[in-house]
C-alpha cells in the first residue's frame, strides 16, 4: 500500500508548527532561544526539516532522532516524537523504530563526527538494508560540540584543534564523501547533497528534505540528504565568511547534486503487520501452542545471578537456560553475556536477572547468586556478591574457600559429578542443579523442558537431566 502526500515548496514565514513555540529546558531557563551559535547551519537545516514536517502534515507521525553533537538538544526544539541516540547510533535506533512502528516517519539527524566517524558502521548497514527512514546528514567539516576537532569530512589544509597546521591527507586521510559512498550501495533509493548557503540552494535543500520524507511516506525506503553547513564558531569565521567558505572551499570538493534516485522505479516496501497473534507470540517465545504461561514458583522478587567460568565450560549456556526456563514460567528475565577477549579457554560470564516485576537493567553488579565455575571467576566476582547472597563454588577446579563471611558458600564438584556421568561438558548442567537446590526461583521441571528443546539427541537430553539431578541432590 502506498500513500501519496502532495509536497509543495512554499516557504513558511516564521515558526513552522513542528518547532515548539518555547524551548523549555529542564532548568526552566533559556525558554526562547536555541543554543546554536549565530550563523550555525543547524538552525537553518532544522527549520527546513520542521517546515517540511508541518506542511506535509507529518507532525503526529514523526520521530526525530537527535544525535550526540551540537544538535543533541533538538528534542527541546522539534515538536515531534523525539528519541536521543548515543553517539553514532541514530541509524540503529531508527531501524528499531521503523520496524516496531512502520507507520512512523523516522528522521535520523546526524553530524559528521556522529555519522562519518563513530557511526560509520551504523549508517552503512542501515543504508545497505534500505531501512525506511530519512537521514539528514549535517556536514560542517568539523566536530562542533567538542570544540573543533578534525572530522572525517574536514578539508585538506583545514586547521582544526587536532590538525593545527591543517589536515594533511598523507597522515590524516582525505575528506570522506559520504553521499557518494552511500550511493554506491544497492538499497538506498535517493541520495542527494545540497548546500544551504544562498536562496537558490536553500530552495534545493527544502525540496530534497521533502522528497526524502515523501519517499518514506510511500514506503520506498532509505533516503540520505547531506547538507553542507556552517560552523562559524569552530571555523573562527564570521557567519558571512563561513557561507563564502562553504561556497569556495567545500562545494568544489563536496559537489552538490543528486547521486542516486531510483524512486520512480522502486516498489514500496511491504508493510510489516504487527505480530499480536497469541499463537505467533508463543512461537516466538518457544512455547508450545496452547500451553498456559503460569508461574509454578511462588513470589521470588528479583534474583540477580552471575555465572562465570572459562570459555567452553558452558557458563553462558547455563545462564541462557535459566533465563529461558524463567521466561517459560511467565517471569521477567534478562540474559547478558560478557565474553573475554580470548576465545575457547578465556574467561566468560553472564548476568541473568529473573524477576516477577519488570526489570530495570540487565546489568548485574551486585549478584544475589554467584556461580563460580573456576578459580579466576571466584577471585573476580566474590567481592561483588551482595551481603546475604550465595556463592556456588565448583570445588573440582577451585582450590580455595570463599573468604567472605557475610555470604553463604556452597561447594560442589560440578566437573567431577559431570565426568562421573560420562559427560564432562555437562558441568554447567550440574551447576544448574546446585542452583535449583538452593534457589527456589525456578522450577526443576522447567529446566528439563529447556533441555528437551536444546538438544537434538535423546542421550544428550537424558545425560544433562541426570547432571541437573546430580547437582540438585548433591550433599557435601
Ligand X SMILES: Cc1ncc(C[n+]2csc(CCOP(=O)(O)OP(=O)(O)O)c2C)c(N)n1
Report the nearest approach of ligand X to the CB of residue 43 (Å). 11
- Among residues 20, 37, 87, 255, the one that binds ligand SF4 under rule CB under 6 A: 37
- Among residues 232, 326, 367, 389, the one that binds ligand SF4 under rule CB under 6 A: 232
36 belongs to the binding site for ligand SF4 (CB under 6 A) = yes
For ligand X, which is the closer residue by CB, 227 or 409?
227
Contact segment (CB under 6 A) with ligand X among 44-52, 62-70, 314-322, 328-336 equals 62-70
Residues of span 75-94 touching ligand X by CB under 6 A: 87
Tell me the site size for ligand SF4, rule CB under 6 A. Answer: 12
Q: Which residue has the cell 553472564?
A: 350
- Among residues 79, 197, 223, 234, the one that binds ligand SF4 under rule CB under 6 A: 234
233 belongs to the binding site for ligand SF4 (CB under 6 A) = yes
Instruction: Answer whether 386's CB lies under 8 Å from 370's CB.
Output: no
113 belongs to the binding site for ligand SF4 (CB under 6 A) = no
- Among residues 46, 66, 71, 230, the one that binds ligand X under rule CB under 6 A: 71
Report the nearest approach of ligand SF4 to the CB of residue 152 (Å). 16
> Residue 233's binding partner, choosing from ligand X, ligand SF4, none, with beta-carbon cut-off 5 to 8 A by kind?
ligand SF4
Tell me the site size for ligand X, rule CB under 6 A. Answer: 17
Sheet order of strands, 134-139 included: 81-84, 62-66, 105-111, 134-139, 223-228, 190-195, 257-261
144 belongs to the binding site for ligand SF4 (CB under 6 A) = yes
154 belongs to the binding site for ligand SF4 (CB under 6 A) = no
Q: Write the interaction track for ligand X spanning residues 291-320; mark x where CB under 6 A is met and - where it is not.
A: ------------------------------
42 belongs to the binding site for ligand SF4 (CB under 6 A) = yes
Report the nearest approach of ligand SF4 to the CB of residue 145 (Å). 6
Q: Write the interaction track for ligand X spanning residues 149-168; mark x where CB under 6 A is met and - where it is not.
A: --x-----------------
Residues of span 53-112 touching ligand SF4 by CB under 6 A: 70
Task: Return the ∠ at Cα 281 (arms to 217 and 274), rounded to 5°.
Answer: 10
For ligand SF4, which is the closer residue by CB, 107 or 231?
231
Report the nearest approach of ligand X to the CB of residue 172 (Å). 16
Instruction: Name the DSSP letter for residue 425.
Output: G
69 belongs to the binding site for ligand X (CB under 6 A) = yes
Contact segment (CB under 6 A) with ligand SF4 among 33-41, 79-87, 308-316, 455-463 equals 33-41
Instruction: State the Cα–Cα distance between residues 458 and 135, nearest whole angstrom.
Output: 51
What residues make contact with ligand X under the rule CB under 6 A?
Answer: 68-71, 87, 111-114, 118, 138, 140, 143-146, 151
What residues make contact with ligand SF4 under the rule CB under 6 A?
Answer: 36-37, 40, 42, 70, 140, 144-145, 231-234
Amino acid at each position: 500500500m502506498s500513500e501519496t502526500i502532495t509536497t509543495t515548496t512554499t516557504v513558511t514565514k516564521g515558526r513552522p508548527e513542528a518547532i515548539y513555540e518555547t524551548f523549555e529546558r529542564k532548568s526552566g531557563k533559556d525558554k526562547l532561544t536555541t543554543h546554536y551559535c549565530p550563523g550555525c547551519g543547524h538552525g537553518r537545516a532544522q527549520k527546513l526539516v520542521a517546515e517540511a514536517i508541518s506542511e506535509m502534515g507529518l507532525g503526529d507521525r514523526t520521530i526525530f532522532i537527535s544525535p550526540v553533537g551540537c544538535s543533541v538538544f533538538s528534542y527541546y526544539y522539534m515538536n515531534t516524537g523525539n528519541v536521543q541516540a548515543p553517539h553514532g547510533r541514530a541509524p540503529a535506533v531508527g531501524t528499531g523504530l521503523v520496524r516496531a512502528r512502520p507507520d512512523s516517519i523516522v528522521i535520523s539527524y546526524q553530524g559528521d563526527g556522529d555519522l562519518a566517524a563513530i557511526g560509520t558502521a551504523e549508517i552503512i548497514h542501515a543504508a545497505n538494508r534500505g531501512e525506511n527512514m530519512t537521514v539528514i546528514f549535517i556536514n560542517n567539516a568539523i566536530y562542533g560540540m567538542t570544540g573543533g576537532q578534525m572530522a572525517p569530512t574536514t578539508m585538506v589544509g583545514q586547521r582544526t584543534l587536532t590538525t593545527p597546521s591543517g589536515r594533511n591527507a598523507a597522515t590524516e586521510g582525505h575528506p570522506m564523501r559520504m553521499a557518494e559512498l552511500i550511493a554506491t550501495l544497492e538499497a538506498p533509493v535517493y541520495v542527494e547533497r545540497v548546500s544551504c548557503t544562498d536562496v537558490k540552494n536553500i530552495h534545493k535543500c527544502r525540496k530534497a528534505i521533502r522528497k526524502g520524507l515523501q519517499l518514506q511516506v510511500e514506503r520506498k525506503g532509505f533516503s540520505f540528504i547531506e547538507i553542507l553547513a556552517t560552523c562559524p564558531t569552530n571555523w573562527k569565521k564570521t557567519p558571512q565568511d563561513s557561507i563564502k567558505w562553504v561556497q569556495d572551499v567545500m562545494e568544489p570538493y563536496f559537489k552538490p547534486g543528486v547521486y542516486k534516485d531510483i524512486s520512480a522505479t522502486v516498489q514500496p516496501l511491504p508493510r510489516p503487520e504487527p505480530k499480536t497473534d497469541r499463537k505467533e507470540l508463543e512461537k516466538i517465545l518457544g512455547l508450545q501452542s496452547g500451553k498456559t504461561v503460569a508461574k509454578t514458583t511462588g513470589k521470588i522478587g528479583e534474583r540477580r545471578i552471575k555465572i562465570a567460568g572459562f570459555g567452553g565450560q558452558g557458563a553462558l549456556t547455563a545462564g541462557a537456560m535459566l533465563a529461558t526456563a524463567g521466561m517459560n514460567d511467565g517471569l521477567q528475565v534478562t540474559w547478558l553475556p560478557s565474553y573475554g577477549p580470548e576465545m575457547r579457554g578465556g574467561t566468560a560470564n553472564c548476568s541473568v536477572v529473573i524477576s516477577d516485576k519488570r526489570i530495570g537493567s540487565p546489568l548485574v553488579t551486585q549478584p544475589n547468586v554467584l556461580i563460580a565455575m573456576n578459580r579466576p571467576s571466584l577471585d573476580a566476582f566474590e567481592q561483588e556478591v551482595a551481603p546475604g547472597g550465595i556463592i556456588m563454588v565448583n570445588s573440582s577446579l577451585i582450590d580455595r574457600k570463599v573468604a567472605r563471611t557475610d555470604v553463604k558458600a556452597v561447594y560442589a564438584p560440578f566437573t567431577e559429578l559431570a565426568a562421573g556421568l560420562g559427560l564432562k561438558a555437562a558441568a554447567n548442567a550440574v551447576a544448574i542443579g546446585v542452583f535449583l537446590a538452593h534457589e527456589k526461583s525456578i522450577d526443576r521441571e522447567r529446566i528439563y523442558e529447556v533441555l528437551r528443546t536444546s538438544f537434538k539427541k535423546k542421550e544428550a537430553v537424558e545425560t544433562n537431566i541426570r547432571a541437573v539431578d546430580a547437582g540438585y541432590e548433591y550433599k557435601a
